[in-house]
Amino acid sequence: MSAETVRTIIDDLGALLLFTMILILAAGQIYRAIYAVAAQSLLIAIAAAVLATATGNTDLWVIAGITLTVKTIVLPWVLHRVVRRMNVRREVEPVIPVAATLALAVMVVVMSFHLSASLGPVNQAITGNALPVGIALTLLGVLVMATGKTALNQMVGLFASENGIFFTAMAVTQGMPLIIEIGVILDVILAVLVMAIMVLRVRSTVDADIAGLDRLKG
Amino acid sequence: MMTGERSLGLLLFEMTFLVLLGPLVTGTIQKIKARIQCRQGAGVLQPYRDLAKLFRKGTVQADTASGLFRLIPVLVLAATVAAGALIPVVRAGPPSFPLGDALLLLGLLALARFLTAVGALDAGGAFGGMGASREMTLAPLVEPVLMMVVFSTAVAAGTTELGALAAQRGTSWVLAWHAADFLGFAAMLVLLPAETGRIPVDNPDTHLELTMLHEGMLLEHSGPGLGCMLLASHTRQIVTLGLVSALFFPIGPANGADAAGLLLGVGAFAAKILVLASYLALVESSYAKLRLFRVPQFLGIGFVCALTALALRIL
């Protein structure tokens, strides 16, 4: 594959990643957010595979495989199970209205494009729109975490944010050392597992609603 | 300047083709829906029979309606059909005489929408007023997004003329899509049900007052007037689908002037419309009607997608 083709494909995948992110932000039900985040991880795995074929970097194949199994299948399944086990209300109740969240999302996207354009020489070295898209994904993940009321939403946000970091790292460095990537993935697995257990345990007292955690008990 | 590639005759043929094909698209969507629901369903030609029946009937009019009311169906149909003239159907390339661009098309569709609402208010019925108010609430959410999607492709081509836009798309397929095209197309997929008056935004099958937008505005019309309004909404649907296929799908080659080229163009257009119609039928069968207050949130997805597509193009 020529460098130009790779650039186009990464750009296209970036657009689709942004689309899944918008779906996560606008999801009215937690299940839809989980499916969208799984689709996002699948796109990340495809991006890794594309970069692996382009650069001949075998580490990237390993990363694509790990992303596919862990982030596309296992973690969404865990989240799905938690939702089913908890028997909570499935509607997402954001802190601010979804329309406001979407407006904020537009501002974040435009800002990240603006910021990465002002980076100049750094931006020159990077393929296409990967950097602004990656920054936007990361920040939008944080937005999901900030606007979600339940711990589940924040897990989804963390997950999406991590996808953004992963995408940026991959596109910018054409593959980081394998050990770092595996470390990052392990962190996310641990975080999600710990949070899943926490949510299931904590539920008995506070119903896993973050809004209920605003008072100190002494 | 650009030499015209589509003659007046071809344009007239395309416009007539669109108007004649419009009810068939509705019939097809209804047939696919019926099949998905394990029903036999009416034949795909049913909308034509409905129209023929309506045009044979007499007209009944509300006492409160003014003279304008009788004109409304004709005006709406005229605006919609005129919009149809701007859609490149069988062949890409700008028309051979100044005709108008995508903005005029959106303007004509908006005019038809406005006239429909005015007609509904004029008749003085409660349902008509409610339908008009709802339609006018949603219109400002749909039309700017449509415009932004058009702009996001127009920026790359440097023109808003639909034939030229389609020519610029060439015969390439998804592989040649720019990143912004994916987001623009996603926005279009969100908007299509809204623009064609289908679930999850509107429900075309019911006259239940809680769910209807577009149907509510047609209640006071009868006979040939209602026939015109229905034909206008069939045409509006196929015009919207045609807009999507002109913006995002390849179209027949600009130089195929002979009968074979024409036939190929018609076949390709039918295939594209069939794909989009099946999408609409699938969405209608798998989603419930959204509560009215949820609709802006749904359309917001399209808005953000379209804006991001523009950002990808410009920034």
Q: Which of A121-135, B99-113, B256-270: highest mean pLDDT?
A: B99-113
**What pLDDT was estimated at residue B3?**
47
Query: Domain count of chain A?
Result: 1
Establish if A215 belongs to a structural domain: no
**What pLDDT was estimated at residue B148?**
93
Contact predicate A189/A158, CB 8 Å: no
Q: Does A12 touch chain B (CB under 8 A)?
A: yes
ipTM for the whole complex:
0.82
Establish if A217 belongs to a structural domain: no
Report the C-alpha gap between A196 and B126 in whole angstroms. 52
Establish if A214 belongs to a structural domain: no
Q: What is the pTM of this model?
A: 0.88
B188-247 tens-digit pLDDT: 999 999 999 888 888 877 776 666 788 888 888 999 999 999 999 999 999 999 999 888
Establish if A218 belongs to a structural domain: no
Report the C-alpha gap between B166 and B144 in whole angstroms. 21
Q: Which domain holds residue A132?
A: 3-206
Residue among A4, A11, A18 with most chain B CBs within 10 A, to mutate: A18
Which of A40, A71, A72 minimizes the C-alpha distance to A136?
A40
**What pLDDT was estimated at residue B282?**
94
Strand-pairing partners, residue A150, are A209
**What pLDDT was estimated at residue B251?**
72
Report the C-alpha gap between A119 and A178 in whole angstroms. 27
**What pLDDT was estimated at residue A143?**
93
Average pLDDT in the A182-192 region? 82
Establish if A42 belongs to a structural domain: yes
Report the C-alpha gap between B311 and B309 in whole angstroms. 5
Å between A81 CA and nearest CA of chain B: 24
Establish if A212 belongs to a structural domain: no
**What pLDDT was estimated at residue A89?**
63
B96-124 tens-digit pLDDT: 787 888 899 999 999 999 999 999 999 88
Mean pLDDT (chain A) is 82
- First-last CA distance in chain A: 63
Q: Categorize the per-residue pLDDT at B2 as very low, low, confident or very high, splitting at 50, 70 and 90.
A: very low
B62-82 as b/e: b if 16+ CB within 10 A:
eeebeeebbebbebbbbbbbb
B307/A98 CB distance under 8 A: no
**What pLDDT was estimated at residue B306?**
93
Contact predicate A167/A47, CB 8 Å: yes
**What pLDDT was estimated at residue A210?**
64
Average pLDDT in the B281-299 region? 88
Establish if A117 belongs to a structural domain: yes
Report the C-alpha gap between A119 and B225 in whole angstroms. 61
- The angle, 0 to 180 degrees and rounded to 10, between the axes of the packed helices B179-195 and B295-314 is 150
CA A140, distance to chain mean position in Å, is: 9
A115 to chain B: closest CA residue: B315
A97-111 tens-digit pLDDT: 888 899 999 999 989
Average pLDDT in the A174-187 region? 78
**What pLDDT was estimated at residue B22?**
94
Report the C-alpha gap between A96 and A70 in whole angstroms. 32
- The single-letter DSSP state of residue A95 is S
Tell me the Cα Rg of chain A: 18
Contact predicate B140/B108, CB 8 Å: no
Establish if A213 belongs to a structural domain: no
A22-42 tens-digit pLDDT: 999 988 788 889 999 999 999
B20-61 tens-digit pLDDT: 999 999 999 999 999 999 999 888 999 999 999 999 999 988
Helices (H), chain A: 3-26, 30-55, 58-66, 75-86, 98-118, 121-124, 130-147, 151-173, 178-206
**What pLDDT was estimated at residue A125?**
59
Report the C-alpha gap between A63 and A65 in whole angstroms. 5
Report the C-alpha gap between B188 and B145 in whole angstroms. 9
Let me know if A90 is exposed, middle or buried by CB neighbors in 10 A (0-12, 13-18, 19+): middle
A133 to chain B: closest CA residue: B312
